[in-house]
């Protein structure tokens, strides 16, 4: 199916045209709008259609596309419906390439082998999976995609280092030729109401640098500079944007603008918008047939190349078990690599460990007592129950151990701006206290519903100098606070550290939180040996949340 993608970019190049890539969310605003919208987009000049798979937590998307996903999910759209939309559109004559765009959980839930087989049967040409970086894609999805002639479109961003640029270029070329999607700015999708001229010039220059680096990497791989189609997206909303970015890229992606037009004006409006931004339908020229054939010839050696890449990818082990992983947008990848390297360095540094131990004693208030609950032990019978009194630590919970440790680590990384999410408020209060101690800026995202429930903790955070941001999107609770914090981090990744409060998220965060909270277990073991005089020599069970147990 990726032959369609190669053909279209070759035809656009022959016509000296910037390929127009248009995004809409499947099942939005109404279930019956998707297929007519796809046909209208093609008729008016859309060269490639991105069909968004609705997802509840789209961390890289702005408010317009997030709201569209919420509506589509309320409409009852399921993954199978997205495939059916594509199949129905093909039956009605749709001929341009279609890429399914979404987040890995949607595809994982459907089953990778089943997903790829069904996508091919429906007439899909490939996938853009925002939180499936090259390393994970090579191991998990590339074999099934290649077997079904589907492209896996990698992303590159202004934060991608040379190694990641090379990975993206290789992924765009093999095993199934496709394209590379370049994120034009740090942030989420969406329309920018105003962009100062200097900021715009910087964005263009930075984006052009990424595109040129990708072309250089493709040449080192043995390809020609124009063998790798490169499209640019995020914040592109006008014809002027398409012309400016199209001066150095092969195509431009427009999403939020089309989604909004579809909502406000319906099918006809989205067609008019596509025509205006794309410059109208493609006018084919003679002489592009051989170019198309040459571009696709690489696929013959795809099996061998895929095996080599998969072997190469095995050197990455994001976490120490099968439960590891780093399923995040490309913009965050380098920051996670830096964070992992920094933690591996500083966690064994004698001075860092001494400072952390001093703060545990003098600021947090450790070691916290270990208390033998005699009456409770007698009541339940059998096991002797001991309680590690972490509620006596500063701020009233164990959260402070992790917050102080990560705040110290942020200083080592040179980042003075801290963000966090909180539900009941304990992690937010702990992070605010750590930032007040160390002189760091602190922003805490909290669901608006939780802000009402936990007004006292909001007050405590504010009194310690933190800015509490009530999150109004979605259910206005913890999951939405996490989404907003991630969007902030994507936007401000160069200056900001995100203090995650639990042993969750992409590697190395589970390791960091585990290591910082291990002080509780280490203290408890020493206290148990001292207080029981060795009477309890058998292993004991620790009961608590994941980060403690």
Residues 461, 545, 374, 397, Cα dihedral to 10°: -10
* Domains along the chain with CATH numbers: 3-289 (3.20.20.70), 330-531 (3.40.50.1100)
DSSP state of 443: E
Structure tokens at 371: 């208390």
Give per-residue pLDDT as tens, 244-280.
999 999 999 999 999 999 999 999 999 999 999 999 9
**Phi, psi (rounded to 5 degrees) for 103:** -120, 150
Please give the Cα distance from 436 to 97 (Å, whole number): 53
Characterize 200-225 residue by residue with b for buried, 16 or more Cβ atoms within 10 angstroms of its Cβ, and e for exposed: eeebbeebbebbebbbebbeebebee
User: Does residue 231 contact residue 21 with C-beta atoms inside 8 Å?
Assistant: yes
Compute the average pLDDT of residues 325-341: 90
Q: Which of 61, 131, 135, 250 is the catalytic position?
A: 61
Looking up tokens 């596309």, which residue turns up? 65
The three-state secondary structure class of 512 is: helix
Q: State the helix-helix crossing angle for 34-43 and 256-278, rounded to 10 degrees.
A: 20
Q: Which of 33, 40, 42, 50 is the catalytic position?
A: 50
Residue 442, H or E segment:
strand 441-447
Can you say whether the dihedral through the CA atoms of 51, 55, 58, 61 is positive or negative? positive
Q: What is the CA radius of gyration of the chain?
A: 26
Structure tokens at 334: 């380098």
Bridge partner list, 467 = 443
* pLDDT computed for residue 1 by the predictor: 45
Please give the Cα distance from 502 to 178 (Å, whole number): 38
Q: Is 355 a catalytic residue?
A: no
Compute the average pLDDT of residues 342-351: 97
Q: Is 161 a catalytic residue?
A: no
pTM of this structure: 0.88
Give per-residue pLDDT as tens, 507-533.
999 999 999 999 999 999 999 999 987
Name the more confident of 467 and 548. 467
Angle at 107 between CA 546 and CA 165, to 5 degrees: 90
Residues 310, 315, 316, 317, Cα dihedral to 10°: 110
* pLDDT computed for residue 469 by the predictor: 98
Give per-residue pLDDT as tens, 448-461.
999 999 999 999 99
* pLDDT computed for residue 224 by the predictor: 86
* pLDDT computed for residue 251 by the predictor: 98
Residue 127, H or E segment:
strand 126-129
User: Does residue 119 contact residue 101 with C-beta atoms inside 8 Å?
Assistant: no
User: Does residue 56 contact residue 29 with C-beta atoms inside 8 Å?
Assistant: no
Q: Which of 314, 471, 344 is nearest to 409 (CA)?
A: 344
Q: State the helix-helix crossing angle for 509-532 and 399-412, rounded to 10 degrees.
A: 130
């Amino acid at each position: 199916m990726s032959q369609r993608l190669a053909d279209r970019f070759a035809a656009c190049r022959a016509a000296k045209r910037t390929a127009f890539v248009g995004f809409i969310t499947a099942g939005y605003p109404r279930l019956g709008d998707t297929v007519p919208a796809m046909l209208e987009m093609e008729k008016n000049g859309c060269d490639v259609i991105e069909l968004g798979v609705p997802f509840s937590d789209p961390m890289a998307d702005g408010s317009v596309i997030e709201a569209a996903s919420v509506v589509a999910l309320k409409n009852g759209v399921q993954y199978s419906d997205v495939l059916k939309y594509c199949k129905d559109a093909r039956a009605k004559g749709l001929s341009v390439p279609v890429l399914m765009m979404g987040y890995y959980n949607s595809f994982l839930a459907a089953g990778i082998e089943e997903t790829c087989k069904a996508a091919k049967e429906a007439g899909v040409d490939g996938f853009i999976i925002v939180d499936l970086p090259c390393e994970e894609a090579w191991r998990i999805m590339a074999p099934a995609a290649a077997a079904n002639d589907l492209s896996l479109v990698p992303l590159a961003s202004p934060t991608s280092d040379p190694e990641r640029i090379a990975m993206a270029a290789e992924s765009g070329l093999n095993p199934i030729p496709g394209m590379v999607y370049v994120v034009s700015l740090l942030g989420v999708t969406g329309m920018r109401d105003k962009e100062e001229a200097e900021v715009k010039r910087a964005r263009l220059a930075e984006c052009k640098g990424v595109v040129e680096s990708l072309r250089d990497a493709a040449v080192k791989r043995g390809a020609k500079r124009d063998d790798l189609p490169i499209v640019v997206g995020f914040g592109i909303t006008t014809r002027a944007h398409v012309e400016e970015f199209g001066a150095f890229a092969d195509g431009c992606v427009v999403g939020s603008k089309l989604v909004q037009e579809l909502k406000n004006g319906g099918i006809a409006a989205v067609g008019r918008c596509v025509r205006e931004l794309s410059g109208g339908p493609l006018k084919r020229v003679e002489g592009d047939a051989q170019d198309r054939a040459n571009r696709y010839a690489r696929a013959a050696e795809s099996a061998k190349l895929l095996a080599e890449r998969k072997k190469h990818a095995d050197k990455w082990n994001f976490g120490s078990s099968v439960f590891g992983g780093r399923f995040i947008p490309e913009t965050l990848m380098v920051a996670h690599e830096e964070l992992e390297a920094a933690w591996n360095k500083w966690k064994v540094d004698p001075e860092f460990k001494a400072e952390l131990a001093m703060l545990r004693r003098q600021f947090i208030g450790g070691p916290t007592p270990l208390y033998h609950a005699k009456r409770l032990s007698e009541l339940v019978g059998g096991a002797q129950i001991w309680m590690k009194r972490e509620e006596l630590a500063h701020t009233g919970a164990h959260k402070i151990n992790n917050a102080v440790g990560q705040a110290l680590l942020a200083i080592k990384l040179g980042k003075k701006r801290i963000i966090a999410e909180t539900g009941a408020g304990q992690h937010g209060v702990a992070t605010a206290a750590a930032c007040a101690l160390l002189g760091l800026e602190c922003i805490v995202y909290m669901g608006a519903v939780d802000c009402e429930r936990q007004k006292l903790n909001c007050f405590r955070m504010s009194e310690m100098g933190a800015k509490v941001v009530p999150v109004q999107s979605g259910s206005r609770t913890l999951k939405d606070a996490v989404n907003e914090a991630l969007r902030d981090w994507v936007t401000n990744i160069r200056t900001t550290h995100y203090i995650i409060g639990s042993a969750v998220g992409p590697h190395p965060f589970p390791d960091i939180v585990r290591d910082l909270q291990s002080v509780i277990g280490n203290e408890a073991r020493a206290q148990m040996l001292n207080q029981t005089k060795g009477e309890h020599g058998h292993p004991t069970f620790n009961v608590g949340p994941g980060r403690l147990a």
